[in-house]
Amino acid sequence: MSYVVTLHRSTRIEREEVEALAQDSSQLAFDGSEGEALLHWTNSATDSRETFVLTDGELHITSPSDDALSLAQTIAGHLGATVRGEEGEDLSEVPVGKGSNDSTGCGTFIWSILLIAVLLGIYWWLN
């Protein structure tokens, strides 16, 4: 099962901005072939590559590792964007385990469930 994380802001994220991110970082590589705008990042801890895809003015990454989620938070800061989970939850400031070798999920499963439970509890309490 995959989990999509989105970098979103009120104005579209443009292809040129994504390309500039790669030019300013030795860790990121831009791939603009075949009309797509891809931002590749190689996780040196696991030697695995994770990819952000620019679609409709938003950057998406599927099932990011903890390190990639942390990178998404950093990129969002540079772009003036927020990091959102599939259910619209704000992940911009969610603590992420640094240096984790987890390359299959977005944070630990239990923390994801806890975050959702807390958000649902707040929503229920306010209504």
**Mean pLDDT rounded to a whole number for the chain:** 85
Strands 58-62 and 4-8: what pairing?
antiparallel
Beta bridge partners of 5: 61
Within 13 A of 105's CA, how many CA atoms are on the CB side?
10
Q: Using 50, 70 and 90 to split pLDDT, how confident is the model at 126?
A: confident
CB burial readout 33-47, b (16+ within 10 A) else e: eeeebbbebebeeee
pLDDT at res. 2: 79
More confident call, 112 vs 50? 50
For residue 83, is pLDDT > 90?
yes
For residue 108, is pLDDT > 70?
no
Q: Using 50, 70 and 90 to split pLDDT, how confident is the model at 71?
A: very high
